[in-house]
């Protein structure tokens, strides 16, 4: 079964950061936000990510750095058997994991 390998910067502003690796089963058409939902459902419900519209690319709350480039997690498609690095946007106040303030 194909998987998506996510290396995600996690932690909290006051507790420091670390990178955690997740292997997520790939499904056709899944976005990186869908992959994070899988992690929250199956591995770590405490994983913090901000979102509202989930796919309309309208709320812009799921902004993150994906392999160093800013983008919206709900509109970036996962690629089977790929490896991707995801970090919170550095220009915004960091809260926890991928969640930032909405400045
Ligand atoms: S969740 Fe709204 S733009 Fe991604």
Ligand 1 neighbours, Cβ below 6 Å, are 51-54, 57-62, 72, 74
In this predicted structure, what is the pLDDT of residue 32?
A: 97
Ligand 1 atom index nearest CA of 58: 3
Query: Domains of the chain: which residue ranges?
Result: 3-100
Burial, 45: exposed, middle or buried (Cβ in 10 Å; 0-12, 13-18, 19+)? exposed
Q: Among 82, 87, 95, 93, which residue's Cα sits nearest to residue 20?
A: 87
For residues 27-50, give the mean pLDDT.
97
In this predicted structure, what is the pLDDT of residue 103?
A: 62
**What's the CA-to-centroid distance between 85 and ligand 1, angstroms?**
19
Ligand 1 atom index nearest CA of 59: 2
pLDDT above 70: residue 33: yes
The answer to whether 48 and 95 have CB atoms below 8 angstroms apart is: yes
For residues 13-24, give the mean pLDDT.
94
Residue-wise pLDDT for 39-98, tens only, equals: 999 999 999 999 999 877 789 899 999 999 999 999 999 999 999 999 999 889 999 999
Superfamily of structural domain 3-100: Beta-grasp domain (3.10.20.30)
């Amino acid at each position: 079964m194909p998987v998506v390998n996510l290396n995600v910067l996690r932690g909290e502003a006051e507790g420091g950061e670390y990178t955690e690796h997740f292997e997520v089963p790939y499904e056709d058409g899944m976005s990186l936000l869908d992959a994070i939902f899988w992690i929250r459902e199956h591995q770590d419900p405490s994983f913090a990510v901000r979102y509202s519209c989930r796919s309309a690319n309208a709320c812009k709350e799921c902004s993150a750095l994906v392999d160093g480039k800013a983008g919206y997690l709900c509109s970036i498609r996962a690629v089977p058997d790929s490896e991707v690095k995801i970090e919170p946007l550095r220009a915004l106040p960091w809260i926890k994991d991928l969640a930032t303030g909405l400045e």
